[in-house]
Amino acid sequence: MALVTSNEMILNAQKGGYAIPAFNVENMEMAMAVIQAAEEMRSPVILQTTPSTVKYAGTAMYAAMVYTLARTAAIPIAIHLDHGESFALAAQAIRDGYTSIMIDGSHQSFEDNITLTCKVVEMAHACGIPVEAELGKVGGKEDDLDGGESDNNTNPAQAAEFVERTGADFLAVAIGTAHGVYTKTPKIDIDLLRKIRATVDIPLVLHGTTGVDSQIVRQCIEAGMCKVNYATELRIAYSDGIKEALIENPEVFDPKTYGRAGMAKVKEVATKNILLCMSNGKAQAQV
């Protein structure tokens, strides 16, 4: 089927009490592995790229790649700009075929975040594209994104005002998670999540999931998270697969050989997290 926007699948997840897994992909192999897992599990899925990733190959390249894979897939697939940092990048992604956009103004002041988000929402909605925004700072470091310490959690009252004033479709919130690899056990504030959920009615998004205990992730979904992002875990899996293949056969020179090994690891991770998000089987009613 053709690429779809993330709007319907995430709203369905909100109604159904599960979450849509959103996987950051760096290349063709990772994208293929994620879609293979999602098809076997009958799960809607979002493939994402960060600004650093699109600097590597461009939004047109990633959009065309995912579009080509989606044409023969029998599940809903969206391609999403993760942590877009500017209006210009959001506009470029939409022009090149992205079906979902995140604008991350969380490193700016509250008012400047609202101003930037409103501008992107107006542009994206005119094109029929939903927008994810962020309020509070998800800490840690991923690519060129440096959120610092995860000590600036989302204020529920500000969240209500932010959503009302911006018209964002989904909201990424900071509740103690961090991007990248954790150096200590994260303290996830489920009570804060519940308070945010009580003040806003749009779907909420969980970033910084790699390394968070699966029971905590499930509790976050049960408390209102409707989209769960995975990035570092997939990168580690893909790299581990390639390393293992090269150690086993150091003479190999065909990239397809170790590429398949990386894909196998990514598929395992994607399958595990689809089950954790409880999105398996949820594509049936949408095909």
Residue 214 above 80 pLDDT?
yes
Per the annotation, the verdict on 82 as an active-site residue is: yes
Q: Which of 82, 96, 143, 169 is the catalytic position?
A: 82
Angle value at C-alpha 131, between 123 and 26, nearest 5 degrees: 110
pLDDT at 136: 87
Residue 177 above 90 pLDDT?
no
pLDDT at 140: 47
Average pLDDT of every residue of the chain = 92
Q: What span, in angstroms and rounded, lies between the C-alpha atoms of 209 and 101?
A: 20
Q: What are the residue boundaries of the structural domains of the chain, listed by start?
A: 6-232+265-286
Over the stretch 18-43, which tens digit does the pLDDT of each residue have? 999 999 999 999 999 999 999 999 99
The DSSP H or E segment spanning 167 is none
* Distant-in-sequence, close-in-space partners of 37: CB < 8 Å, separation ≥ 6: 43, 266, 267, 270, 271, 274
pLDDT at 287: 38
Residue 274 above 70 pLDDT?
yes
What global pTM score does this model have? 0.91
pLDDT band at 210 (very low <50, low <70, confident <90, very high): confident
Greater pLDDT, 181 or 177? 177
pLDDT band at 285 (very low <50, low <70, confident <90, very high): very low
Please give the CATH number for the structural domain made up of 6-232+265-286: 3.20.20.70
Is the Cβ–Cβ distance between 78 and 106 less than 8 Å?
no
pLDDT band at 176 (very low <50, low <70, confident <90, very high): confident
Largest Cα–Cα separation, the chain:
59
Q: What span, in angstroms and rounded, lies between the C-alpha atoms of 8 and 78?
A: 10
Buried-exposed string 191-222: b where 16+ CB fall within 10 A, e elsewhere: ebbebbbeebebbbbbbbbbbbeeebbbebbe
Tell me the mean pLDDT in the region 220-229: 96
| Cβ-defined contacts of 191-194 (< 8 Å, 24+) | 192/153, 192/154, 192/156, 193/220, 193/223, 193/224, 193/225, 194/223, 194/224
